[in-house]
Amino acid sequence: MNPRTLRVLEYDKIQERLAQHCAFSGGVELVQAMLPSDDLDTVREWLAQTAEAHRLLEQKADVSFGGVRDIRPFLDKAERHAMLFAQDLVEIRSTLQRARSLRNMLLHLEQSFPRLADLAYNIEPCDHVIAEIGRCINDRGEVMDQASEALARIRQELRVAQERLLSTLDRLVHSPDIRPYLQDALVTQRQGRYVIPVRAEYKGQVEGIVHDQSSSGATLFIEPLKVVQQNNAVRELELQEEKEIRRILTELTELIADEAIYLRRNFQILAELDFIFARARYAFALEATVPEMVPWRPVAEAGDDGQVEFQHPGSVIDLRRARHPLLDPERVVPIDVYLDDETYIIVITGPNTGGKTVTLKTVGLLALMAQSGLMLPVEPGSKLSVFEGIYADIGDEQSIEQNLSTFSSHMTHIIEILEEADPRSLVLLDEVGAGTDPDEGSALAMALLDNLRDRGITTFATTHYSDLKLYAHNTPGVRNASVEFDVETLSPTYELSIGLPGRSNALTIARRLGLNPVIVDRAETMVRPDALQAEALLDDIKRARQEALQASERARERERQIQALEADLRYQLAQIEEARRSVIAETRAQMQAELEEVRQEVEQIRRRLAQGGSLGGAHQEFLARAQQTLSTRQRSHGEVDPQVIVPGNAEERLAGPIEVGDRVWVPSLQASGEVLSVNPRADEAEVQLGNFRLKLPMKRLELRQKAVRESAPAPKVRVQAGAVHESPGMEFDMRGERVEEGLEKLDRYLDSAYLARLPWVRIIHGKGTGALRDAVRAMLREHPVVGEFRAGDLGEGGDGVTVVKLIDEGS
């Protein structure tokens, strides 16, 4: 990628901000070395990695690289056979522990985050290195006694020798023969020897070796002759301890040198993961999304005469609500930048400070970011091609040393661009043709754009020249765009409008600023009539376009209101239908109950008459007719389907069960839809009706069209679940039960809990020896109604309780 373009578009500032989201120096180095790629597959892979890290951080904000250090200097030192210090080894262990932790986490989430898992898979756990360093050195960087048997023995002997020495010295400093000559009754160390402080004037009164004196000379630090041998013994043991520690550290250094190739690879993978997660964190800061990187479209074919009017290179730029990433997100104005199938050169006009240059930088910088694997501050659905070269001539870079004017500087850069650019490039030209005579500059600008157009190079250019507006309007492949200016407030709006050129607001601004109207009127008479007519026509077009946009927005708002009203109406109809059915069901139940009471009374009368003697023929006939009438009425009030007959619904109702994918008719809502799921236990189905999903009873659905299925796999049934059973309770206490009998009872309890539709239960088995707990959990792993289980939390009974989540109906 062109280095000057990276500088002009401030790519280095993106790197600086991205580096702030890295956790350690390895990631920062990768950010500093980051460059855009011109390979579509590579860019897509980078963006996919960033997107995975972004999704993972949404789910687990605690992903951390804490404890990771730059261990490469330690590895280099070990490979040179220079002994590592204990603190160096602690940092190596900390880095390896974090690498192992990240590896385990990402491999556990492999199905959801395969690209991150692929990287983590290459991390070498190095468990033996972590264990050996941890066995020998604690977190404070101290070599522990257990590092070797010899070190443990030496330190034990050293502690005994020090205790004896200090005991002897303590007796001396408190002895009445020596105490008067001491500065303080204490024991200290000088040059590795234990000494006592003696006042200088009494040095002859204490026999011993002088090792040091105070800065004032008033105190001498003397090793009494009585403890010289004990001091020697302590010092010898200290030297043995230092020697043994060096031997242990040397062995650990050799271990690190042997594993250096794996440790260095682990560091490189950690750095790459840190780089990826930094890109994801930066995306959160920018409120960014993943752009779709698309291949270049096929170019237009030549006609029958072998020629085409212009050759579109096939580039795709569709940036929706794009924001410049370096501007204040609270103040930056989003813009829509796009190329259609017939345009690959955009000419942007508008006032100074109106946002033309920002538009160029936004397009160029976002393209560079996307090709670096960074998510962009754009709305979802944005698309970009991968450009093999991005070239920008932006800003005034005149050189006094080289005696180059502004125009010469621009021309120098443009010549370089024209030599390097090809149809797979993106060219950004700011104020093309500026810095010289307007007529010549305008002609030169049109010639430059013609050259880029003929070569099929995607270009964005800004200009103040009015002639370029007409050029863009009349030239195939070229299109006008403008940045808006509010003449009421005399300030730019920074909004980009593609399809219309910018207006010249000089006379309007002068008039509003209070310039003498006579002067403004005189200036208007000097302007070419066709220019004034074009400005007036442009003003009308913009006004008409604004009105069309407002009308379109009003239409969308009305559509949203209509959809909301329709949804509300459908809901009310559903509620009314439900209430109607409820009333019918209650009335039918009441009538059935009353008929049953009458039937029972008739039966009682029959039995009384039978007990009193034989029934007469008339009585017998009367009771038989009454019984028959009651039976007839009960049947007539039996299963009546109160469906609404819908006029005009000509589709034939099909017989058979309703299944997922079937098309059904909902009479109460006057609508048809597709079955998304079926709940046999609740005898209901979830149906997609237009933009709405509703759960409806099966009896309210009419099957109209069966789903087309390639094969019909047998349904998976774990436990036969009929109607809802009485709940056996949320807890089952097994304490005191024998294992076999307890497991049988537990099996029956789980079946009852599942049939009662309990979501979860608590099994109390106690802690004890753990035999009953282990048997219970072994059974739960195989039980068909158990979805998952866990040990109880501290407030739930701890390991004496197992909390079981039962499968739901769809599992």
What is the distance between the alpha carbons of residues 121 and 118, in angstroms, rounded to a whole number? 5
Helix axes 86-108 and 127-136, enclosed angle (nearest 10):
140
Confidence at residue 594, expressed as pLDDT on a 0 to 100 scale: 75
- Annotate 559-610 with DSSP letters as a single string: HHHHHHHHHHHHHHHHHHHHHHHHHHHHHHHHHHHHHHHHHHHHHHHHHHHH
Residue 665 has pLDDT above 90, yes or no: no
Q: Is 745 annotated as a binding residue?
A: no
Range among 125-134, 184-193, 402-411 with highest mean pLDDT value: 125-134
How far apart, in whole angstroms, are the C-alpha atoms of residue 40 and residue 171?
84
Sheet holding 760-764, edge to edge: 731-733, 760-764, 801-806, 786-791
Which range (51-65, 90-104, 111-125, 726-740) has the least confidence?
A: 726-740
What's the whole-model pTM score? 0.63
Residue 626 has pLDDT above 80, yes or no: no
CATH number for the domain formed by residue range(s) 317-521: 3.40.50.300
pLDDT in tens, 454-472: 888 999 998 877 778 888 8
pLDDT at position 612 over 80: no
Q: What is the dihedral of CA 729, 733, 739, 741, to 10 degrees?
A: -50
Question: What's the rounded Cα separation, in Å, for the pair 359 and 341?
Answer: 21
Report the C-alpha gap between 270 and 70 in whole angstroms.
10
Tell me how crowded residue 653 is: count the other CB atoms within 10 A of its CB: 11
d(CA 270, CA 278): 12
> What is the length of the chain?
811
Q: Is 243 annotated as a binding residue?
A: no
Q: In the CATH hierarchy, which fold is given to the domain comprising 731-806? A: Ribosomal Protein S8; Chain: A, domain 1 (3.30.1370)
DSSP assignment letter at 538: H
The tokens for 626 are 């009454």
How do 343-349 and 458-463 pair as beta strands? Answer: parallel
Number of separate helices (H) and strands (E) present in the chain: 21, 23
CATH class label, 663-705 = mainly beta
- Can you tell me the mean pLDDT for 14-31? 93
The two three-digit tokens of residue 430, written as one number:
């700011």
Write down the H helix ranges in 401-491. Answer: 406-420, 438-454, 466-474
Cα distance between the two ends of the chain? 53
The reply to whether 314 sits in an annotated binding site is: no
Instruction: Check the annotation: does 298 bind a ligand.
Output: no
Q: Which residues contact 278 (CB under 8 A, 6 or more apart)?
A: 18, 19, 21, 22, 23, 27, 31
- pLDDT above 70: residue 189: yes
- pLDDT tens-place string over residues 640-654: 444 444 443 445 678
- pLDDT value for 408: 75
Residue 712 is predicted with a pLDDT of: 41
- Check: CATH 3.10.105.10 for 3-126+259-286? no
Across 443-464, average pLDDT:
89
Q: Is 352 annotated as a binding residue?
A: yes
Residue 562 vs residue 16, higher pLDDT: 16
In angstroms, the CA 430 to CA 360 distance is 8
795 has binding-site annotation: no
Q: How far is CA 283 from CA 15, 25, 50, in A?
A: 13, 20, 9
- Dump the DSSP string for 184-234: SS--EEETTEEEEEEEGGGGGGS-EEEEEE-TTSSEEEEEEGGGHHHHHHH
Label residue 725 by pLDDT band (50, 70, 90). Answer: low
Q: What is the mean pLDDT of the chain?
A: 81
Residue that has been written with the tokens 């009662």 in this structure: 756
pLDDT given for residue 97 in this prediction: 92
Average pLDDT over residues 700-726: 58
CB proximity list for 148: less than 8 A, separation 6 or greater: 244, 247, 248
Residues of the chain with pLDDT > 70: what percent? 81
Q: What integer is the mean pLDDT of 577-591?
A: 74
Name the band, by pLDDT with cuts 50, 70 and 90, for residue 413.
confident
Distance from C-alpha of 190 to C-alpha of 448, rounded to nearest angstrom? 84
Q: Place 11 in a pLDDT band, splitting at 50, 70 and 90.
A: very high
pLDDT higher than threshold 90 for residue 371: yes
Contact 737, 773 (CB under 8 A): no
Query: Does 356 belong to an annotated binding site?
Result: yes
Domains of the chain, by residue range, sit at 3-126+259-286, 147-253, 317-521, 544-636, 663-705, 731-806
pLDDT band at 560 (very low <50, low <70, confident <90, very high): confident
pLDDT value at position 251? Answer: 93
- 787 has binding-site annotation: no
166, 492, 513, 517, 660 from 487: Cα distances, Å: 93, 8, 10, 17, 60
**In the structure, what pLDDT confidence band is assigned to residue 331 with cuts at 50, 70 and 90?**
confident
Question: In terms of pLDDT, which residue wins out, 629 or 777?
Answer: 777
Same fold, 3-126+259-286 and 147-253: yes
Identify the band that residue 352 occupies on the pLDDT scale cut at 50, 70 and 90: low
Residue type, 633: R
Structure tokens that stand for 617 in this block: 């023929």
pLDDT digits (tens, 9 = 90+) for 266-293: 999 999 999 999 999 999 999 999 999 9
- What strands, in cross-sheet order, belong to the sheet with 317-322? 292-293, 383-384, 317-322, 335-338
CB 382 within 8 A of CB 392: no
CB-based burial, 246-275: b 16+ in 10 Å, e otherwise: eebbeebbebbbebbebbeebbebbbbbbb
Tell me the backbone φ, ψ of residue 343, rounded to 5 degrees: -130, 135
Would you tell me how many other CB atoms lie within 10 Å of the CB of residue 41?
Answer: 10
User: Looking at residue 670, what is its pLDDT?
Assistant: 67
β-pair partners for 806: 786
Which of 29-43, 568-582, 610-624 shows the lowest per-residue confidence on average (mean pLDDT)?
Answer: 610-624
CATH of the domain spanning 147-253, picked from 3.30.450.40, 2.30.33.40, 1.10.1420.10, 3.40.640.10 = 1.10.1420.10
pLDDT in tens, 26-85: 999 999 999 999 999 999 999 999 999 999 998 887 788 888 999 999 999 999 999 999
Other CB atoms within 10 A of residue 230 CB: 19
